[in-house]
Amino acid sequence: MEILRLAQQSKFDTVTIPLPSSKSESNRVLIIDALTNGTNKISNLAEARDTQTMISLLKKNPPVYDVLDAGTTMRFLTAFAAVTQQNKVMTGTDRMCQRPIGILVDALREIGAEIHYLNAEGYPPLAIHGLKTQTNHQVKIRGDVSSQYISAMLMIAPLLPNGLELELEGKVGSQTYIEMTLDLMAQFGITYTWKENKIKIAHQEYKPTSFAVESDWSGASYWFSLLACAEDGTFFLEGLKENSLQGDSKIVAIMDQLGIKSTFKNGGVLLQKKEVTGLTKWDFTHCPDLAQTVAVTCAILGQNTIFTGVESLRIKETDRIHALQQELAKFNAEFKEIETDVFQVIPSVTMPHQVQIHTYEDHRMAMAFMPLATKTEVLFEDPSVVNKSYPSFWKHCNLAGISTEKLA
């Protein structure tokens, strides 16, 4: 097993981090581009493995779409294959085939797609045989499981002969990702209405355009956390916009309470340390990918913070709630469920001389626990998991001044 050691480091100079491009934006514009037969000028696509997998599958167009561990790629390509009348088998890693897709398949079947499960009902692998006739233009879909199901349906909606009226049932999670999808579609000429819980998109054509992908706010969150936990330093994160489409830009407001001042300037954001005012509670419904990062930060900074809106963490690359509980315990902190789906960080009171983090084949488990290096030596199992979204992450740690060493 590969292990990477991070030496303890708590003081940093002024460091510029060339952040990776947004995986979320990249994967959406790639689908939109494919739906317009590649007539757009797309730049600054993400280096993330998920995005590179999407690029490769769209380019090679094999009979089997093996998405590896890329959940977004699985869901978006399922809808894409259906609306473009393709016969495809959708599959991925063992973990990918344990992640549910039934809600999306049901919605696609309702509008006329022919899709069959090849193993367990509701889970990949599955076989797609196109969408020859639209049988319905009104579909209800749960809003509290995964916004990716909703985004997948929205992006194919303009190509449907009768358009689509999507009714979101119940609580809507990760709403900012739905808004991102619609905003990106609008930049490619699509009009829509969203009133209360109904999104309506008429049959229309995407219009070719030029689009540059923004840097990744999820990737930025780890540097906010590192500086919050550090004794001293200043970071400049390149390529971020103040008025971002990405929901994870909420990290600015969260970290403002955890001791980070953010100033947008010169095509990025400057991070400086300031007084910690305290984070008592945060609802992660619309930014669940920040939960691990913030939990670790709070545990290190001594914040007894209440977390809500983290239900979707159970069906990510791993059960992230369980993983957080296991790994926080290694430095005497807790992520305690105090009532159903409500959790509290119980911060660490004593820090071991060394902590070894199991990463659960989950890129965010590795990156979220990196700031622990401000307090102790940290060993990371399977550090290459970061390639899923941020392949240059450990190099950027070196750039910031953190010493790394491969032990196995």
CATH classification number, 23-212, choose in 3.10.20.30, 3.40.50.620, 2.60.120.260, 3.65.10.10: 3.65.10.10
Q: Is 289 one of the annotated active-site residues of the chain?
A: yes
pLDDT tier, 187 (very low <50, low <70, confident <90, very high otherwise): very high
Q: Which residues pair with 127 in a beta bridge?
A: 89, 116
At 299, the amino acid letter reads: A
Average pLDDT over residues 271-290: 96
Question: How many angstroms separate the Cα of 404 from the Cα of each of 3, 54, 383, 401?
Answer: 10, 31, 11, 9
289, 319, 341, 362: the catalytic one is 289
Closest CA to 318 of 408, 382, 373: 382
Can 3-20+215-406 and 23-212 be said to share one CATH topology? yes
Give me the DSSP letters along 95-115: TGGGS--HHHHHHHHHTT--E
What pLDDT, on a 0 to 100 scale, did the predictor assign at position 339? 95
pLDDT digits (tens, 9 = 90+) for 311-360: 988 888 789 999 999 999 999 999 999 999 999 999 988 999 999 999 99
Instruction: Write down the pTM of the prediction.
Output: 0.87
Question: How many angstroms separate the Cα of 349 from the Cα of each of 75, 299, 324?
Answer: 42, 9, 17
What pLDDT, on a 0 to 100 scale, did the predictor assign at position 318? 87
pLDDT digits (tens, 9 = 90+) for 97-112: 999 999 999 999 999 9
What pLDDT, on a 0 to 100 scale, did the predictor assign at position 171? 86
Ordered by start, the domain boundaries in the chain are 3-20+215-406, 23-212
Query: Over 80: is that where the pLDDT of 408 sits?
Result: no
Superfamily in which the 3-20+215-406 domain is placed by CATH? Enolpyruvate transferase domain (3.65.10.10)
What pLDDT, on a 0 to 100 scale, did the predictor assign at position 1? 87
How do strand 377-381 and strand 198-201 relate by DSSP bridges? unpaired
What pLDDT, on a 0 to 100 scale, did the predictor assign at position 369? 98
Average pLDDT over residues 181-185: 97
Average pLDDT of the residues of the chain:
96
